Amino acid sequence: MPSSSQHKATVTAPSNIAFIKYWGARNLKRAVPVNRSISMTLRTCVSRCTAAWLPDRGKHVIELRNARGVLAPAPPAFAERIRSHLNFLRRWAGVGGHFHIATENSFPAAAGIASSASGFAALTLAVVTALDRRLSLEELSSLARLSGSGSAARSVAGGFVEWPVGFSDDACHARVLAPAKHWPLANVIAVVSSGPKGTSSLDGHRRARTSPYFRTRQRRLPARLEAVREAIAGRDFEQLGTVIEAEAVDLHCIAMTSVPPIFYWQPATLVVLETVRALRAEGVPAYATMDAGPNVHVICLPRVEKLIAERLAALPQVETVIRDRIGDGPAIETRHLF
Amino acid sequence: MPSSSQHKATVTAPSNIAFIKYWGARNLKRAVPVNRSISMTLRTCVSRCTAAWLPDRGKHVIELRNARGVLAPAPPAFAERIRSHLNFLRRWAGVGGHFHIATENSFPAAAGIASSASGFAALTLAVVTALDRRLSLEELSSLARLSGSGSAARSVAGGFVEWPVGFSDDACHARVLAPAKHWPLANVIAVVSSGPKGTSSLDGHRRARTSPYFRTRQRRLPARLEAVREAIAGRDFEQLGTVIEAEAVDLHCIAMTSVPPIFYWQPATLVVLETVRALRAEGVPAYATMDAGPNVHVICLPRVEKLIAERLAALPQVETVIRDRIGDGPAIETRHLF
């Protein structure tokens, strides 16, 4: 083992926006999904994580940069999820000791952007780098996934990512469909609510099967996945957009018809969706997608990104607009957080 | 034939709110539905119609009381639907001549309350009464249905109404599940948009089958219908409410997953739905249902009707609140409109 002073690494890992959603798990704890998903990796919305491995026994130290810009102990529920993953990674690596972790997000705290995908991808990569392990994309994806945040499995790579490629527990990792430079799409995020969600994604996954429409959705997903792969391969924006907007509505219909129902949409969500349809009616190519929350991601070509951002920012119901692009995936950083 | 001076009748017929929705037709022109529906007849939201039969040849005269309170020629599209039904009723009755029709609604014009159910029920009853025919409920329901407005088949009776009882064209009429006095429920209507709908109900019926979830919905409806019948029979408000709110969301999920999708909800619709959930969380028994439009009907017990109406009226997104109750069905009137 090298000395502890070298056992420190800082990485960034991006958030991603799913074109085909992960909704429903075969094994929720191990984040083995019922269906494949496809996402676009983001560039600007990233988590930065410094991990240090300390060989002596001790409790993990877990810090998060807070709204005032200060590194402070992470909130208990969040720290517990990280602690659990650190223990898993320690067993996986076959080491003792403990970790000192510090994390920050490039996007506003509690902006309603899912930070678990980028956060757990960054944590996983920072820890394995601090431990000086070299992993394949497949191994890294599987390890990130085992944090319990399934979408973290997609955040270890750039461009267009499909996850999983196989359904066995071992083969449940992501692969790159196409790199970012293949098709430089933009994502204008309309943040309509920065508050916490009423129902967590984990509860949503649990309840997904209670929707009468869940099985029908599963049966139809292979064709939808193929339509997205085709659209990406052929850079067919209209085909991509039509499918992903329908897919997002589908996810929310499954949630709203679960027992008991889950309503992630807020009034402002519908305002943004109406605006996107109005933009299309004006000839602006833009399609909406939403994760399990009220915010709307407007996927567009870079040439109309500014126009769309301005239109969305002008809506009184929109709190913040974040302009993002397709990104290249995680990176090793030289500046540490501590 | 009696003399023409006697061939005049005025009736009122109520609107109704569906607990289980008619969505998708076996025969759209003849309004033969794919599935059974159950509704509550309203008391206050009614159409009043005077029909006069004139034995000489001539064009039908069709008048509608407009927003300024004046009887004026009906708008062309509306007049055309009425003319077509009058021609059908004339053939059915085996008479010649022509009709003079005048109609008014008790609810604000274009309040977004479906006026075709009450309007065509009133028209049908007024015409058969003017022609001095005595019809059974079944016959009247079938005749009203053949106007093309399927929900008119439910507006010929009071209380809780199921339609159809049979699926053959002959047996496609309504029956009373329980009279109004069995369970005096209230309906507080939050009108959030009085504008015309972007997609007509007829187009919605046509597109229903394009939803991947349409068949699953049909398979599940018998259990849902039975749950509503049971709840009505046993006056179980929580069971009734839970089922009808889920059913309304279901209708809109079918519409939103149709190809192309139909969005009837407006941002204000979600504001009202949130308010209804908040009322329930406070212990106020209230459940929401929506037809193919943005307005929300809040079904409740009369003891909380005033409270709910005040809460909804206080929402800036709500244009008007209409308080209605379960009603006894159509009535013959003595005061004519002309």
Q: Give the CATH number for residue A15.
A: 3.30.230.10
> Could you tell me if residue B238 is inside a domain?
yes
Indicate which of B250, B251, B273, B287 best probes the interface with A, i.e. most A CBs within 10 Å of its own CB.
B250
A267·B263 Cβ contact <8 A: no
Residue A1 clears pLDDT 70, i.e. is over it:
no
Final residue before a domain boundary, out of A163, A182, A201: A182
The secondary structure of B82-117 as a DSSP string is HHHHHHHHHHHHT--SEEEEEEEESSPTTSSS--HH
Count of structural domains, chain A: 2
Claim to verify: residue A139 and residue A12 sit in the same structural domain:
yes
Q: Are residues B156 and B295 in the same domain?
A: no
Domain identity same for B45 and B136:
yes
Work out the minimum CA distance from B296 to partner chain A, whole angstroms.
14
Q: Is residue B336 part of a domain?
A: no
**CA angle (A64, A70, A71) in 5-degree steps:** 35
For the entire predicted model, the pTM comes to 0.93
Is A101 in the same domain as A170?
yes
| pLDDT per residue as tens digits for the range A118-151 | 999 999 999 999 999 999 999 999 999 999 899 9
Do A116 and A77 touch, CB atoms closer than 8 A?
Answer: no
> pLDDT grade, residue A171 (50/70/90)?
confident
Asked whether residue B338 is domain-assigned, the answer is no
pLDDT of res. B111 = 60
* pLDDT reported for residue A77: 87
CATH number at residue A239: 3.30.70.890
pLDDT number for residue B110: 58
User: Are A178 and A217 in a shared domain?
Assistant: no
Q: Is residue A338 part of a domain?
A: no
Same domain assignment for residues A125 and A176: yes
**In-domain check, residue A330:** no
ipTM of model: 0.91
| Chain B residue with minimum CA distance to A219 | B212
Residues B176 and B221 in one domain: no
Q: Which residues in B lie closer than 8 A to residue A263 (C-beta atoms)?
A: 270, 273-274, 277
* Single residue among A143, A163, A182 that ends a domain in this structure: A182
Residue A337 located in a structural domain: no
Give tens-digit pLDDT for A236-295.
Answer: 999 999 999 999 999 999 999 999 999 999 999 999 999 999 999 999 999 999 999 999
Q: What is the pLDDT along chain B (338 residues), one digit of tens a residue?
A: 444 458 999 999 999 999 999 999 999 988 999 999 999 999 999 999 999 999 999 999 999 998 888 999 998 988 999 999 999 999 999 999 999 999 999 987 656 677 899 999 999 999 999 999 999 999 999 999 999 899 999 999 999 999 987 767 667 999 999 999 999 999 999 999 877 777 888 899 999 999 999 999 999 999 999 999 999 999 999 999 999 999 999 999 999 999 999 999 999 999 999 999 999 999 999 999 999 999 999 999 999 999 999 999 999 999 999 999 999 999 999 999 99
pLDDT of residue A112: 62
Please state whether the peptide bond connecting residue B260 to the residue before it is cis, i.e. omega within 30 degrees of 0: yes
Of A149, A182, A215, the position where a domain reaches its end is: A182
Backbone angles phi, psi at B12, to 5 degrees: -115, 145
Residue range of the domain that includes A261: 186-325
Tokens of A225: 């996945």
Residues with Cβ within 8 Å of B283's Cβ and at least 6 positions away in sequence, in order, are: none
| Same domain assignment for residues B140 and B273 | no
- B209/B198 Cα distance (integer angstroms): 19
Residues of B with CB under 8 A from a CB of A: 212-213, 215-217, 220, 246, 249-250, 253, 256-257, 259, 261, 263, 265-271, 273-274, 277, 317
Assigned domain for A268 exists: yes
Is the domain of A35 the same as that of A161?
yes
Q: Is residue A98 part of a domain?
A: yes
Displacement of CA B69 from its chain's centroid (Å): 23
Percent of chain A with pLDDT over 70: 96
If asked whether residues A212 and A228 sit together in one domain, one would say yes
Check whether residue B266 and residue B156 sit in a common domain: no
Is B190 in the same domain as B297?
yes
Inter-chain residue contact B256 with A257, CB threshold 8 Å: no
Q: For chain B, what is the total number of helices (H) and then of strands (E)?
A: 8, 14
